A = this chain, B = another copy of it.
Amino acid sequence: MSVQRQTKQLQAIQTAFETAGRPLSIDEIHELAGRDIESLGVRTVYRAVRRLQENGDVSIVNVPGGSDRYELASVAAEHHHHFHCTACDRFFDIHGCPGGLKKLLPKGFKLEHHELTLSGLCESCA
């Protein structure tokens, strides 16, 4: 069976996730990892992210409006939410959760998950 190779492209992509510490879009990954690997192809980013997802190392973050972001599965493992800066279009992790959502439900509805996205200006844009 096939063995996964540890390429420097994949390493750069993993490093990008770790140093960014926030959810990244495909383009952001391409940009950040591309600083290490010149001429990093977007095609490679798509493949790497897919593989990291399949390996359970990275989780997808569906955001309202914009394109999908990806974050380390270790981060996704603990319940949290996100902040979207409308100026720089970056997403950040928000720790904590308002809670008490069940009482907002119409009767008969069954709550399984929830997603909260705060938006405004991040520290560097404010």
Select A98's contact among B62, B101, B106, B113, beta carbons within 8 Å. B101
Contact-residue size bin, chain A (C-beta under 8 Å from the other chain): 35 or more
Give the residues in chain B near A98, CB-CB below 8 Å. 98-101, 104
Residues of B close to A18: CB separation below 8 A: none
Question: Which chain B residues lie closer than 8 Å to A11 at the CB level?
Answer: none
Q: How distant is A79 from chain B, measured CB to nearest CB, in Å?
A: 12
Q: Is B120 within 8 A of A110, CB to CB? A: yes
- Return 17 A-B CB contacts under 8 Å, by A number: A64-B115, A83-B109, A86-B112, A92-B106, A94-B106, A96-B103, A101-B116, A107-B123, A108-B123, A109-B121, A109-B123, A110-B121, A111-B120, A112-B120, A114-B116, A114-B117, A115-B116
